[in-house]
Amino acid sequence: MATYKLSTPLQDADLATLHAGDVVLLSGTVYTARDSAHKRIIETLDKGEQLPFELQGAAIYYVGPTPAPPGFVIGSAGPTTSGRMDSYTPRLHDLGLKASIGKGKRSQAVRDALQRNTCVYFGATGGAGALLSKCITAAEVIAYEELGPEAIRKLTVKELPLLVINDSHGAELYAKPNID
């Protein structure tokens, strides 16, 4: 296992070097989207309309942050279960999304899309939302404000600590018998 510092937009060459179990400190722009936002994203694509953010090289964090306390840019920002987005994710990877961030296992269809498109799935530590929020230096709602915590936000992150769960080579950290 190795540690890498990456910035968005993510590039195929960088993602191809990653392997399940590697640690990534991610900086740059990350978008938030959960179930309701994903449904809206797909509806927007089906209508042939423009998405509220560029998918090419993007990373989506499956999070519904709590309100920001006074003096903070965001509240607790822990990951949600990724499997709830699995029916939408392969299409987004085929259109240029390079990484998703959440917790839990992914479907075979998502793992196939990761390989097909040189993408990765990162795990963020569940239960550590308050700590993870300290890596977020800016946050703004950019779409679907009426969804509240599930609105799409544009986050600026600095060295957000992530673990490669599924890499672009077909490996899965959860399937490894020994985690070093």
35-73: pLDDT as tens digits: 999 999 999 999 999 999 999 999 999 998 999 999 999
Instruction: For residue range 129-151, list pLDDT tens digits in order.
Output: 888 999 999 999 999 999 999 99
77 found inside a domain = yes
pLDDT of residue 127: 80
Q: Is the pLDDT of residue 180 over 60?
A: no
pLDDT of residue 177: 63
176 found inside a domain = no
Using alpha carbons, select from 160, 151, 178, 180 the residue that is nearest to residue 99.
Answer: 160
| Tally of structural domains, the chain | 1
pLDDT of residue 126: 81
88 found inside a domain = yes
Q: Is the pLDDT of residue 179 over 90?
A: no
SS (H, E, C) the chain: CCEEEEECCCCHHHHHCCCCCCEEEEEEEEEECCHHHHHHHHHHHHCCCCCCCCCCCCEEECECCCCCCCCCCCCCCCECEHHHHCCCHHHHHHCCCCEEEEECCCCHHHHHHHHHHCCEEEECCCCCHHHHHCCEEEEEEEECHHHHHHCEEEEEEEEEEEEEEECCCCCEHHHCCCCC
Instruction: For residue range 76-131, list pLDDT tens digits in order.
Output: 999 999 999 999 999 999 999 999 999 999 999 999 999 999 999 999 988 888 88
93 in catalytic set: no
Task: Provide mean pLDDT across the span 18-33.
Answer: 97
Given the residues 19, 38, 93, 169, the one annotated as active site: 38
175 found inside a domain = no
pLDDT of residue 176: 64
86 found inside a domain = yes
CATH number, position 160 = 3.20.130.10
Instruction: Residue 151: give the domain boundaries.
Output: 3-170
Using alpha carbons, select from 94, 28, 87 the residue that is nearest to residue 61.
Answer: 28
179 found inside a domain = no
Q: Is the pLDDT of residue 175 over 90?
A: no
Phi, psi of 105 (to 5 degrees): -75, 160
